[in-house]
């Protein structure tokens, strides 16, 4: 039990900026903590849901409440996944060879592809949350479910792809076992009762495996930026899919 709690603690430390205390010695391996990624998503989604319901309760219109909830979510994660999406967009379409693409992805500066990816990704999520906010409690459940399920994407990418670098998070978390992915998926099963989510989940899975194929072709495997982008793309598709089932 102590080992499992340490793995949850590590997942929260990796995927959020929430205080999680000090890890025990020896610290668990990143790969061993992948099953707990949806639990970190539960914390992120729960905070966003609480902020959304509070914003709506004090009279903010749905678009503004959705924006506040999205801002709370980004602050909770420290924009970690958004950064990965921007770096991936810059690298994949800004370099001609794998080595150059990886070099661009590691550059802290943002280019036009990365800026556009952030604008489009944030805008689509904001609009989808605002659309869902017309039914407050369903929107709150959607934020929690999407935050949990979208964090399956990094686990799947780690399982299916070799690391593209000799260092970094992608290398540290490589060697994922199917069992860890299965446990993560089982933790998300209660979310499937949300109307429209099963269909959206199929679309998110297709996008995740499509990203995996693209990453293999562009840089030879996965990296931390690929993992972050995978979470973002899955979240966008899930939110859009749920928005399509309003009414």
Residue 73 lies in a domain: yes
Q: Which domain holds residue 52?
A: 2-18+31-243
Matching residue, tokens 């017309």: 134
Taking the CA atoms of residue 194, residue 152, residue 79 and residue 28 in that order, the dihedral angle to the nearest 10 degrees is 130
- Asked whether residue 235 is domain-assigned, the answer is yes
pLDDT of residue 169: 63
Residue 237 lies in a domain: yes
pLDDT digits (tens, 9 = 90+) for 119-168: 999 999 999 999 999 999 999 999 999 999 999 999 999 988 999 987 76
Structural domain includes residue 6: yes
pLDDT of residue 42: 97
- Report if residue 26 sits inside a domain: no
Beta-ladder partners of 163? 222
At residue 173 the predicted structure's pLDDT band, cuts being 50, 70 and 90, is: low
Would you say residue 103 has pLDDT above 90? yes
In a domain, 47, yes or no: yes
pLDDT tens sequence across 153-164: 999 999 889 999
Q: Is residue 199 part of a domain?
A: yes
Do the domain assignments include residue 24?
Answer: no
The mean pLDDT of 217-242, rounded to a whole number, is 96
Question: Residue 172: what pLDDT?
Answer: 61
Average pLDDT over residues 234-246: 93
Give the position of tokens 């979310």.
191
pTM over 0.85: yes
Number of domains in the chain: 1
Residue with more model confidence, 8 or 213? 213
pLDDT greater at residue 69 or residue 178? 69
3-state secondary structure the chain: CHHHHHHHHHHHHHHCCCCCCCCCCCCCCCHHHHHHHHHHHHHHHHHHHHHHHHHHHCCCCHHHHHHHHHHHHHHHHCCHHHHHHHHHHHHHHHCCCHHHHHHHHHCCCCCHHHHHHHHHHHHHHHHHHHHHCCCHHHHHHHHHHHHHHCCHHHHHHHHHCCECCCCCHHHHCCCCCHHHHHHHHHHCHHHHHCCCHHHHHHHHHHHHHHHHHHHHHHHCCECHHHHHHHHHHHHHHHHHHHHCCCC
For residue range 50-91, what is the model confidence (pLDDT) as tens digits? 999 999 999 999 999 999 999 999 999 999 999 999 999 999
Mean pLDDT of the chain: 92
């Amino acid at each position: 039990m102590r080992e499992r709690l340490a793995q949850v603690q590590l997942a929260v430390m990796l995927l959020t900026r929430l205080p999680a205390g000090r890890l025990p010695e020896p610290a668990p391996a990143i790969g061993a903590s992948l099953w707990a990624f949806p639990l970190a998503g539960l914390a992120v989604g729960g905070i966003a849901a609480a902020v959304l319901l509070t914003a709506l309760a004090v009279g903010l219109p749905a678009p503004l409440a959705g924006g506040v909830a999205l801002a709370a979510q980004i602050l909770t994660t420290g924009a970690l996944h958004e950064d990965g999406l921007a770096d991936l967009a810059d690298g994949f379409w800004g370099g001609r060879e794998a080595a150059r693409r990886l070099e661009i992805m590691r550059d802290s500066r943002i280019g036009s592809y990365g800026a556009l990816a952030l604008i489009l990704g944030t805008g689509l999520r904001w609009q989808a949350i605002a659309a869902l906010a017309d039914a407050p409690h369903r929107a709150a459940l959607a934020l929690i479910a999407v935050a949990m399920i979208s964090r399956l994407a990094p686990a799947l990418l780690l399982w299916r792809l070799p690391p593209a670098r000799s260092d970094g998070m992608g290398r540290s978390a490589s060697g994922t076992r199917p069992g860890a992915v299965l446990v993560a998926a089982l933790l998300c099963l209660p979310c499937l009762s949300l109307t429209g989510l099963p269909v959206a989940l199929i679309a998110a899975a297709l996008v995740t495996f499509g990203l995996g194929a693209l990453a293999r072709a562009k840089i030879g495997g996965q990296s931390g930026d690929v993992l972050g982008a995978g979470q973002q793309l899955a979240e966008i598709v899930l939110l859009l899919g749920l928005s399509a089932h309003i009414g």
